[in-house]
Amino acid sequence: GRELAHAGVEFVLAGVAVTPVENVTVAFDAHYVGWSSFRELRFEFDNPALTSTTPKDWHDAWSFHLGGEYRMEALSLRLGLVYDQSPSPSETLTPDLPDSDRFKVAAGVGYQLGMFTGDLGYQYVALLGKDSTAPAFPGRYGGNAHVLGITLGAKL
């Protein structure tokens, strides 16, 4: 079988970054995503009897990001906050794509030694919880996640 991609999702991004004092950068950006083009989740197989379609009827949603970086010679310290709206309405919320509004807190550190760079970041994601009224799967969806990222690089 194969999953069919839905039509492209439109989005608008806008942001601003300022350096209020030397070595400190603060940035804010907002994302508007046209999730309303995601009407269904469809799996199509060569055997039509196996094809399934699940309505999603998502709505457009916003995401807001605020972050800061403090740079000292070779070391950078970073903090960030994110609020991300769920595009999924309660009446089509099911276990295949469980979702709720999210709040994220992130911290990181970067180091540069000559041409080499290293970054370490941590993010806590809190899914704030959302009730599903979908007929086959009523319930509440929520949870949390811990995300760790490590990057090593070289500037040539």
Residue 8 predicted with pLDDT over 70: no
Residue 1 predicted with pLDDT over 70: no
Each residue's pLDDT tens digit, 41-97: 888 999 988 988 888 899 999 999 999 999 999 999 999 999 999 999 999 888 887
* CA separation for the pair 120, 78 (Å, rounded): 10
Residue 3 predicted with pLDDT over 60: no
pLDDT score at 154: 96
pLDDT score at 40: 87
Question: What does 43-110 look like in DSSP terms, one character per residue?
Answer: EE-SSGGG-EEEE-----EEEEEEEEEEEETTEEEEEEEEEE-----GGG--TTS----EEEEEEEEE
pTM of the model: 0.81
pLDDT score at 137: 83
pLDDT score at 99: 85
Tell me whether residue 36 is exposed, middle or buried, using C-beta atoms within 10 angstroms of its C-beta: 0 to 12, 13 to 18, 19 or more: middle
- pLDDT band (50, 70, 90) for residue 4: very low
Residues 1-5 have a mean pLDDT of 38
Each residue's pLDDT tens digit, 97-148: 778 999 999 999 999 999 999 999 999 999 999 999 988 888 898 999 999 9
What are the φ and ψ backbone dihedral angles of 99, each rounded to 5 degrees? Answer: -155, 160
